Every structure is written in C-alpha cells, then in structure tokens.
Amino acid sequence: MREILVEGRTLPETYHKALLALHRDGEVTDCADWNTTQKEVSMTMHVLEPLAEPAISKCFIGGPRELEQYRMEMLDGILDFEVAKGNWAYTYHLRYADQVPFIIDELKRNPSSRRAVMTIRDKEADMGSEDPACLQHIQYFIRDGKLCCKVMFRSNDACKASFMNAFALIQLQKRIAESLGVTVGDYTHRANSYHCYEKDFQMLDNYVRLIEKEGLDGPVFDYEDGWDEIMEEEREGILQQVEELKNH
C-alpha cells in the first residue's frame, strides 16, 4: 500500500493535496465487505495552521448546514440518543466526551506530557461489529505553547467524510486549547486506508479537475467571511430536526 504524506498551511490546501495524491497514486483494490472496489492509499495530512483562512473546501458533499450539523454531532453530541434508540452503533462524541477532563488535567499537570490520548476504539463493541468506529484515537501535545493534535483513522472516505472529519476535529482541538489557555498548534490527520469507493470515482475525478483548474487555494471559502454566520443561522433548524427525531 502506498504511503503518502502531504503538508499545507490550511486545511483545504492540505486536503486538496491529499485528493490529488489519491487520484494519482491510489491503487484499485477489492473491498469485499461492501462488494465493490476502491482506490486506496495510506495518507497522512499535516496541517500547519488549522484555523487559518481559507478554512472551507468546496470539495465535499454538503454545505453550511451539513457541516454545522456534523460539527454539532462531534462536539456537542446532538445525535447521541440514536445509540440508545438502537439506530446507531456509536457516536464519536459518546466515545470520547468522558475522556476530555483527563486530557485537560493531564496537560495541566505536565504540559510536556505524551500521555494525553483519547481512545475511540471500543474493543468489546468493535470486534466483530458490522459498523466499527473508523476513528481510533486522538492524541494531544503542548509544544511551544500550542496545542497540537494527532488523530488516526483505520479507514477514511476521502470524498465523502475526510474534510468534515478534519474540520470538526480541529474545532474540538480549538475548544480544548481554549480550556487550557493555549493557542492552537498543528493538526495531523492519519488514515491507514484513505479511499474512494468505485461508485464515487467520478466524484473524485470532478474534485481533481476543479482543483487543477482553480489551484490548491482556488475552490475554497473563508469560514469567517460568511460561512460561520450561515452555519450559526442553521443551528435552530438543526435542533428542531433533532427534536423531531427524538420524538419519532
């Protein structure tokens, strides 16, 4: 399996480099669990300034509402009830939320600690599951007065998930940094299988054509130049929809 490392200043720049590398260097392999094939590499994305603008890529499915809902799922657990209802096997928020106090306490105890790790994988639940967690662990470091974040996915859908995953995890990094009174450092996103399913090959081709046409920093939006306000405006509608789901 090809090992790829891409690095960029912003999240969109780094993500676009990852899509180009997958398109160029990905190997087509079987994906028997889903009765299909996939284009696949092992990918590490290193984002030097995770909060820098432009922060939004045009190369993901959805818009402000979908991104805000995912951010709220990841950070606030708005859909955690789906697990109790038996509709979902897990949420990332349920897997990590009770570990955040340890992360904060550990890094206050020892800012140079290498022990600030949140485990997302649940051995009992995930072994043999048809829907095991893709995100496996999150580790935080304070270096040079900045909170750095490193995450590892066993499997990550390049076209349909990885941008939203990274965006939300960076927002979580920001929240923890604020609790610690430090600034945000770099963000590293590792996917052992960074892939695109056969049914989405055309989507990947379209993203690549757009990036090649407009450049790495072309198909982007500034988060703080409208998207943040639009996403905030979507929250009320999202929460209404969540209440409907709870009562369904």
Residue 24, number of CB atoms within 10 A of its CB: 11
Specify whether the CB–CB gap between 161 and 140 falls below 8 A: no
Range 149-171 average pLDDT: 98
Q: What is the length of the chain?
A: 248
pLDDT for residue 103 = 98
Quick one: which of 4, 15, 16, 7 has its CA closest to 40? 4
The domain defined by 3-60+88-221 carries CATH number 3.30.572.10: yes
**Position 34 confidence tier, pLDDT thresholds 50, 70, 90:** confident
For residue 100, report the phi and psi dihedrals to the nearest 5 degrees: -60, -45
CA distances 236 to 60, 119, 143, 244, Å, are: 23, 32, 38, 13
Do you find a cis peptide bond into 111, omega within 30 degrees of 0?
no
pLDDT for residue 232 = 96
Cα separation, 227 vs 12, whole angstroms: 14
pLDDT for residue 248 = 81
The number of C-alpha atoms within 13 Å of 56 and in the hemisphere containing its C-beta is 18
pLDDT for residue 151 = 98
**Is pLDDT above 90 for 10?**
yes
pLDDT for residue 202 = 98
Residue 209, number of CB atoms within 10 A of its CB: 11
Beta-carbon contacts of residue 118 (< 8 Å; ≥ 6 apart): 96, 99, 100, 102, 103, 137, 138, 139
Cα separation, 136 vs 1, whole angstroms: 20
The beta strands (E) that lie in the chain are given as 3-8, 27-31, 36-47, 56-57, 117-119, 135-143, 146-153, 156-157, 183-197, 220-221
pTM above 0.95, yes or no: yes
Quick one: which of 230, 232, 216, 186 has its CA closest to 52? 186
Higher pLDDT, 143 or 128: 143
Specify whether the CB–CB gap between 2 and 41 falls below 8 A: yes
Quick one: which of 8, 41, 7 has its CA closest to 22? 41
Range 22-41 average pLDDT: 95
**Is pLDDT above 90 for 33?**
no
Q: What is the pLDDT of residues 63-97, one digit of tens each?
A: 999 999 999 999 999 999 999 999 999 999 999 99
